[in-house]
């Protein structure tokens, strides 16, 4: 996800003493719980979509407030460096797209966002947050969602344990909901996420322009949790097997589109604007879809990317980075990638068109449009 | 557990390229699957116990061979740096005490070690291994069970993902066994392990001689998985609620005794014999039971320990370390700790005495004696 900011190496020491950094959890602000969707749509220039969402605010606002209350609340009775590290991440306002998928998918089946639905929605966000806490250690990430990462504040060890903690909390929420098949599919999903991350780690720095590897990694790393989120809501919503599979596929398509757009954002800003935050994926040796397209169209780029990554001074030279970025952008890879994202979104819209036109369907369609058109 | 060897700082780079270090998994050696118990008893001078166990070899040998086959086999279809890191650890011969608890507890209920029992036994070992993979990153451990840690061979990131992988594999095995209450209690157990590790991390370097903190950490970190292992076997063995709770308490007592003995081993060898492997817990700032006793009896030690830990050159000075160790040992803290371990073992033996005298009961009693008397 496009949340971390830099890849500069820092040591594993926490910035502040973990015991003094404890602050009371902020109470959920009603003004911040719904506007994420609105903001995404508005920033993307989708004023009509943003306006529709504002109309839905009253209807969805209650669900989102309940969700935020659950996420912001204490996850359990433990109060230590692991729970603080996880709360540090959970309490910064994310887009909450995965929990929205659970809630809206359940509402497609005319199920209210009761405790069971909220439990699964929170679980989806927790699994996402758990992988971020581990990924930040893997990637030595320094900032996320505009603030220092948990590993910078509390140390790498706390970030690892915080991730473990959230994984267990997520599974416990699904387990207490008493849906064995959803617990089984969530375990499969987490497994897919771990192995996709491992494959990406193995491939790091290779810049092999393989679309098969890319699709397999993104399916596991991103799309499968969206798939599960839609499936979870649909199951609780009592939808038919066929409808549930259709919505799971909607989730897959949304997830693929989301990641493709995410990839383009890495190239969206130059070093002059973003400083060291620019070209993070590239500096981490990750092969994104725009880079695959660029390497296919400009075959010498693969060698150049590999060579530049193995030359530490290269990545610190602003002019060279600017030139490298210009060469990549010259292949039109960003537009090709955005088009691929739109193709996934189109397939997802078609799936929705088989469902009755309800506020939940409109909200899902808006979520999809926002995810594809987003610029942050 | 007494498996890691040094605390020297190493960077997070893997020693060898992960892609070239792949070796075929060794096939289980029938000569190594049962003798762990025998060896433990024999090394501890329990020749009678060792002899009893040799008699049981035929009976238990089949179970252990099945167990090792499952542990040594591919855990799933994924073949990447995460699965290789986890196999690297699982394939080195551990004591397999937790799986033995599952199998023997089931056999107390006259249940054979069928696939379901073996699944839970493997799950117990996997959860243990998962925490070791994460702990080694937390502790910067270099060797374990006599070989380089997975994080040294494959890198910190692979060790983190390998641990995540094993946690999921363990939960999937329990989930497919269809025992919801065992899945719930395993999640609780993992949660307790994570939070105990977090508390230990927070306390690191404080050398606060608090028996409450120690007991709470060891209960979560070590005893609860032994508790779960006994509970899991007893549940599958169809034992009564009362018997199951009694065996879970047996597991708790065994786990506490096991950790207390583990603590004494840290002080058992001097730097002349063990070099940098000596006094690992102390160098990591972990408050073990012998250190608590030593600090209670020699109050100036707390200050000395804190000061020495904050002075990096201190821990590298062999003579100072030898003097520090001598001062600790002079408090008789090792014998006091061994006595506490024997007290836990005594309580555990009393629990067993309520069960009919079967080979399974004898094996559990021997396991207990071996765990308390062990010298490695």
ipTM score: 0.87
Region A229-257 average pLDDT:
98
A40-43 LR contacts (CB < 8 Å, sep 24+): A40/A95, A40/A370, A40/A371, A40/A373, A40/A374, A40/A376, A41/A366, A41/A369, A41/A370, A41/A373, A43/A374, A43/A375, A43/A376
Task: Give the whole-angstrom CA distance, residue B6 versus residue B278.
Answer: 8
CATH number for A140:
1.10.600.10
Q: Is the CB of residue A170 less than 8 Å from the CB of residue A164? A: no
| A279 inside domain | yes
**B201–A contact, CB cutoff 8 A:** yes
pLDDT digits (tens, 9 = 90+) for A293-338: 999 999 999 999 888 888 877 777 778 888 889 999 999 999 999 9
B264 CA to chain A: closest CA distance, Å? 26
Identify the residue among A141, A198, A200 best suited for mutation to test binding to B, counting B beta carbons within 10 A and taking the highest: A198
| Arithmetic mean of pLDDT, A106-120 | 94
Q: Which residue has the tokens 């954002």?
A: A265
Residues of chain B with Cβ-Cβ distance to A166 below 8 Å are none
B132 and A CB contact within 8 Å:
no
Residue A241 lies in a domain: yes
Query: Would the pLDDT of A96 be above 60?
Result: yes
Q: What is the mean pLDDT of residues A285-295?
A: 94
Q: Do A165 and B195 touch (CB under 8 A)?
A: yes
Partner-chain contact B195 A134, CB within 8 Å: no
B18 to chain A, any CB pair closer than 8 A? The answer is yes
Mean pLDDT of A231-254: 98
Compare CB distances from A160 to B18, B160, B171 and report the shortest one's residue: B160
* Residue written as token pair 């068109």: A353
Intervals of chain B under pLDDT 70: 1-41, 43-46, 49-50, 52-58, 74-77, 93, 270-278, 375-376
Residue A156 pLDDT level (bands cut at 50, 70, 90)? very high
Instruction: Single out the residue of B209, B194, B184, B216 nearest to residue B301, CA to CA.
Output: B209
Residue A339 is predicted with a pLDDT of: 95
* B167–A195 C-beta distance less than 8 A: no
Tell me what the pLDDT averaged over chain B comes to.
84
Which tokens go with B115? 């696939």
Residues 6 or more apart in contact with residue A99 via CB below 8 angstroms: A67, A71, A121, A122, A124, A125, A229
| Residue A81 touches partner B, C-beta closer than 8 Å | yes
**Collapsed DSSP state (helix, strand, coil) of residue B238:** coil
State the alpha helices, DSSP H only, in chain A.
30-33, 35-43, 47-72, 81-90, 97-108, 115-139, 150-154, 156-176, 180-203, 211-218, 224-236, 241-265, 271-274, 280-283, 289-297, 300-309, 312-316, 318-329, 333-352, 359-373
Distance separating alpha carbons of residues B360 and B169, to the nearest angstrom? 28
Any B CB within 8 A of A137 CB: yes
Q: What is the pLDDT of residue B3?
A: 41
- pLDDT band of residue A375 (cuts 50, 70, 90) is low
Q: Which of B164, B187, B199 sits opposite A134 (nearest CB)?
A: B164
**How close, in Å, is residue A2 to chain B by CA atoms?**
20
User: Which of B81, B134, B201 is nearest residue A81 as measured by Cβ atoms?
Assistant: B201
What integer pLDDT is reported at residue A180 of this predicted model?
Answer: 87
Please give the residue range of the domain that contains residue A216: 34-373
A199: nearest CA partner in chain B: B80
The answer, yes or no, to whether residue A7 has pLDDT greater than 70, is no
Asked if residue B39 is part of any domain, the answer here is: yes
Please give the structure tokens belonging to residue A224: 């499968």
Chosen from A195, A206, A213 to mutate, greatest number of chain B CBs within 10 A: A195
Taking residues A110-134, report their average pLDDT: 95
Q: Give the per-residue pLDDT at B234.
A: 98
Question: Taking CB atoms and an 8 Å limit, are A195 and B158 in contact across chains?
Answer: no
Which is more confidently placed, B71 or A375? B71
Cβ separation of A198 and B81 shorter than 8 Å? yes
In this structure, is residue B231 part of a structural domain?
yes
> Where is pLDDT greater, at A60 or B24?
A60
Residue with the larger pLDDT of the pair A58 and B140: B140
Residue A2 lies inside a defined structural domain of this protein: no
- How many angstroms separate the CA of residue B170 from the nearest CA in chain A? 10
Domain count, chain A: 1
The pTM for the full model equals: 0.88
CA atoms of B215 and B221, how far apart (whole Å): 10
Pick the closest to residue B262 from B120, B121, B36, B95 (CA basis). B95
Question: Which pLDDT value is given to residue A77?
Answer: 65
Q: Which residue in chain A is spatially nearest to B20 when comparing CA positions?
A: A202
B202 chain-A contacts, CB cut-off 8 A: 18-19, 80-81
Does residue B22 sit within a domain? no
User: Is residue A148 within a helix (H) or strand (E), and if so which, with residue range?
Assistant: strand A147-148
pLDDT higher for B94 or A278?
A: B94
Q: Do A197 and B82 touch (CB under 8 A)?
A: yes
Interface residue A16 vs chain B (CB under 8 A):
no
Test the B interface: residue of A17, A158, A168, A206 with most B CBs within 10 Å:
A168
CB B131 within 8 A of CB B197: yes
A160 and B138 within 8 Å at the Cβ level: the answer is yes
* Residue A352 to chain B, least CA–CA distance (Å): 33
pLDDT at A27 > cutoff 60:
no
Q: What digits encode the pLDDT tens for the residues A195-221?
A: 999 999 999 888 888 999 999 999 999
- In a domain? residue B236: yes
Answer yes or no: do A198 and B172 touch at CB < 8 A: no
Cβ within 8 Å, pair A168-B76: no
Mean pLDDT of chain A: 84
Rounded to an integer, the average pLDDT of A51-72 is 79
Contact criterion met (CB below 8 Å) for A254 and A348: yes
Name the minimum distance, in Å, from the CA of B270 to any CA of chain A.
Answer: 29
The band of A5, judged by pLDDT with boundaries at 50, 70 and 90, is very low
A62–chain B Cβ distance below 8 A for any pair: no
In angstroms, the separation between the Cα of residue B24 and the nearest Cα of chain A is: 19
CA distance A360 to A43: 22
Interface check for A161 against chain B (CB to CB < 8 A): the answer is yes
CB of A167 within 8 Å of a chain B CB? The answer is yes
Instruction: Please give, rounded to a whole number of angstroms, the shortest distance from the CA of A354 to a CA of chain B.
Output: 35
Q: Which residues of B touch A138 (CB under 8 A)?
A: 157, 160-161
Helix (H, G, I), strand (E, B) or coil at B144: strand
Helix (H) or strand (E) holding A375: none
Residues of B in contact with A206 (CB under 8 A): none
B167 touches chain A (CB under 8 A): yes
Q: Does B134 touch chain A (CB under 8 A)?
A: yes
Q: How far A10 CA sits from the closest chain B CA (Å)?
A: 12
Which pLDDT does position A40 carry in this prediction?
Answer: 66
B80 touches chain A (CB under 8 A): yes
Nearest CA in chain B to A134: B160
Q: B interface mutation test: which of A123, A130, A164, A284 has the most B CBs within 10 A?
A: A164
Out of A80, A164, A187, the one facing B171 most closely (by C-beta) is A187
Tokens (6 digits) for B1: 């557990």
**Residue B248, domain member (yes or no):** yes
Instruction: Give pLDDT, residue B277.
Output: 61
């Amino acid at each position: 996800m496009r949340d971390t900011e830099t890849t500069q190496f820092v040591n594993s020491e926490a910035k502040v003493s973990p015991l003094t950094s404890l602050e009371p959890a902020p109470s959920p602000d009603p003004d911040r719980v719904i506007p994420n969707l609105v903001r995404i749509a508005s920033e993307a220039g989708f004023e009509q979509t943003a306006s529709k969402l504002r109309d839905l605010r009253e209807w969805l606002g209650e669900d989102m407030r309940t969700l935020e209350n659950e996420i912001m609340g204490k996850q359990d009775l433990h109060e230590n460096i692991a729970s603080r590290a996880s709360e540090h991440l959970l309490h910064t306002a994310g887009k909450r797209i995965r929990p929205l998928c659970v809630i809206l998918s359940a509402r497609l089946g005319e199920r209210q966002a009761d405790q069971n639905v909220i439990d699964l929605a929170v679980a989806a966000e927790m699994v996402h947050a758990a992988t971020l806490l581990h990924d930040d250690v893997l990637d030595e990430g320094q900032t996320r969602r505009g603030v220092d990462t948990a590993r910078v504040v509390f140390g790498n060890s706390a970030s690892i344990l915080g991730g473990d903690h959230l994984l267990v909390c997520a599974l416990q929420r699904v387990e207490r909901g008493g849906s064995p098949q959803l617990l089984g599919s969530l375990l499969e999903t987490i497994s897919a996420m771990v192995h996709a991350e491992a494959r990406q780690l193995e491939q790091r720095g290779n810049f092999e322009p393989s679309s098969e590897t890319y699709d397999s990694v993104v399916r596991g790393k991103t799309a499968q949790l969206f798939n599960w989120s839609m499936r979870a809501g649909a199951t609780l919503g009592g939808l038919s097997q066929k409808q549930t599979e259709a919505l799971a596929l909607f989730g897959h398509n949304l997830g693929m589109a989301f990641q493709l757009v995410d990839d383009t954002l890495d190239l969206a800003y130059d070093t002059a604007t973003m400083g060291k935050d620019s070209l993070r994926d590239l500096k981490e040796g990750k092969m994104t879809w725009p880079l695959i397209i660029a390497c296919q169209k400009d075959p010498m780029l693969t060698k150049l990317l590999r060579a530049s990554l193995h030359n530490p001074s290269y990545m610190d030279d602003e002019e060279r980075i600017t030139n490298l970025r210009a060469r990549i952008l010259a292949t039109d890879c960003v537009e090709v990638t955005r088009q691929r994202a739109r193709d996934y979104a189109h397939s997802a819209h078609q799936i929705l068109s088989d469902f009755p036109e309800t506020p939940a369907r409109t909200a899902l369609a808006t979520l999809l449009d926002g995810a594809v058109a987003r610029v942050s």
